Chains A and B, each alone.
Chain A
């Protein structure tokens, strides 16, 4: 916790003077810590001269920011129209069942956090998923199983 606070303070010092600093700062925090912890709001609000409510309002407005610690991997399934046209619904149902979790949840072993996403810009090769920073195109349930099997996580069959 102490280390994290030091890291947070350094990030705030780095970003606080940028115009419109809050979003770049929140990105930096999430990139470094994996999420934007609620205990960080007080320091952020002091550093950027905002109220805690304002910081909370911004964090909660954007789907990208999360306030809980995610699993070691983040798996996003595209739910938008192009992927629907190519069977993303089956993909969603399949992975939820395999991982035994719903969206915004993390597997019991902290391996995977499952998130919905609305278009990954790969719609010529639907259906798509994003695993951490990489997009995979034309994904079948079997492909998805293989990808997940390679991860350091235990999957509930």
Chain B
């Protein structure tokens, strides 16, 4: 009898020793003459339990974790292959509360399937969305995406369907005479995932690359684009491997390339590696980079949807936006839109990070509060001290104090408190955090990553860091705090993109909510 064991290939699991655990389990099985098949799945996203080892039983998959190499012999001694008790035994994976309470739509397969097995993908509802899309005209595909309410998950929350519509319609007028040559268009996936506290793009690319490929193919068919690029950050070598393996499999089986599934549609896909510049996550900077140039942000208009890559109409979407498309095309717009609150429809893959006990991926409908996420899921801080602040939405997101933890995750609710959801990353800090230092870091980061095109961002950020240093040193605090406010104002209003334009979010929120860290009891707390 052969035993089926699942051990993630996800890079967070690898960072906790999954590769060595897999090797040790294989070696021990050989030694004891057990026939085992080890499947390298994506991660279930319960990262504090990595390496999470699952064994298949007739009741379902049983989990053990966190498994270290030193636990392997003990697991065999306890007969874990037959799901017997052991101190690391967690029961049925699907019954673990943390996972069971989630609403996994985009992440439906992550951690369950073998990421690079097309057969496994097909056996778990894969490519149903594309099959539907192939029987629809472009305008209907676009309408379905619009009706689902899906908004860009990369940060700006722009309605995906409306962006696609612009690209679909772009160039239509340029059909000349009888020739009617279709204009070249592109689909570009933004996989630059530079925000601290975020890793959902990586989990999809390492754990279910086909869902991204399917989403991009649907986008291509919808708008009439035949070439796609995935702009992948260079810090993700494992994602590069899984993506390329999946693309190769899709090319070989008619899911990519020419005549997709016997239709007359064509879509080619290539991964391009980024080169470690945060600003290249900004869409126009990314297009410059893909063209082989320095990542200088472009003026808008023209919008990338009209004049994007190589001057052609281009869909630019985040990994999660594109990976959410297959389920929408499979189950319908309404199915997706039924999740969520207000104008934030569907689900958000939330990433718990920083000083948090149970960090990992929580996919839920919009509307869940920060407090529920931090305590019911996160289990409080890792250090056991009170959580004093959280930063939501990456390095350009505001810091929120305890008093705002009841805010529901919703784009509009967050903008009411001068905060952003961004890409859904939540970084928790305990009470040892020094918020003046965090404000300084925000300026410093902006200075390091600025593309240099506008003065407030290029110079202001360096100047800002210097002024915060003075405040920390207790020099002319009142005057210098006013200077920070003026400088922030200039950056907010005088920057071409959100790098310079939103650095004031972390800076001012730190100042407003945590004035006691800025060497000044005298400043009036400004209502956010």
Interface residues of A (CB under 8 A from B): 19-24, 26-27, 48, 54, 57-58, 61-65, 80-86, 117-126, 128, 130, 133-138
Contacts and interface: CB of A to CB of B under 8 A. Distances in A.
Contact of B273 (A24, A54, A81): A24
A20 B354 contact: no
Contacts of A57: 294
Given A58-B292, A122-B15, A133-B237, 9 more contacts: A20-B290, A63-B277, A81-B196, A81-B395, A85-B427, A123-B196, A128-B15, A135-B12, A135-B14
11 contacts: A20-B310, A23-B272, A81-B197, A81-B438, A82-B353, A86-B355, A119-B195, A121-B199, A121-B201, A123-B198, A123-B425
Contacts of A24: 272-273
Contacts of A124: 12, 47-48, 199, 351-353, 356, 359-361
A125 B351 CA distance: 12
Given A24-B272, A130-B235, A137-B12, A122 B196 contact: no
B235 A125 contact: no
B197 A123 contact: yes
Interface of B: 11-12, 14-16, 47-48, 50, 193-199, 201-202, 233-237, 272-278, 289-295, 310, 351-356, 359-361, 382, 391, 395, 425, 427-430, 433, 438, 441, 445, 448-449
A27 B237 CA distance: 13
A139 to B, nearest CB: 9
Interface centre among B11, B50, B194 (most CB of A within 10 A): B11
A63 B14 contact: no
Contacts of A126: 353-354
Contacts of B275: 23, 26-27, 62-65
A137 B199 CA distance: 14
A57 B382 CA distance: 43
Contacts of A120: 235
A122 B12 contact: yes
A55 to B, nearest CB: 10
Contacts of B50: 125
Nearest to B277: A62
A111 to B, nearest CB: 21
Given A81-B441, A124-B12, A135-B11, A22 B353 contact: no
Contacts, number: 148
A35 B445 CA distance: 25
A137 B295 CA distance: 30
Nearest to B430: A85
Nearest to B361: A124
B393 to A, nearest CB: 11
Nearest to B360: A124
Given A26-B275, A63-B276, A125 B16 contact: yes
B276 A135 contact: no
Contact of A22 (B292, B445, B448): B292
A64 B277 CA distance: 8
Nearest to B448: A118
B413 to A, nearest CB: 22
Contacts of B294: 57-58, 61
A151 B311 CA distance: 48
Nearest to A62: B275
A118 B292 contact: no
10 pairs of A and B residues whose beta carbons are closest in the complex = A124-B359, A22-B292, A123-B353, A62-B275, A64-B276, A80-B196, A137-B15, A85-B354, A124-B47, A63-B276
Interface centre among A27, A64, A125 (most CB of B within 10 A): A125
A118 B47 contact: no
B514 to A, nearest CB: 15
Contact of A136 (B15, B292, B395, B429): B15
Nearest to B193: A121
Contacts of B395: 80-81
B293 A82 contact: no
Contacts of A118: 194, 196, 278, 445, 448-449
B287 to A, nearest CB: 9
B235 A117 contact: yes
Interface centre among B196, B276, B359, B441 (most CB of A within 10 A): B196
Contact of B11 (A23, A48, A85, A122): A122
Contacts of A65: 275
Nearest to A22: B292
Contacts of A23: 272-273, 275, 289-290, 292
Nearest to A23: B292
B237 A121 contact: no
A59 to B, nearest CB: 9
A130 B236 CA distance: 11
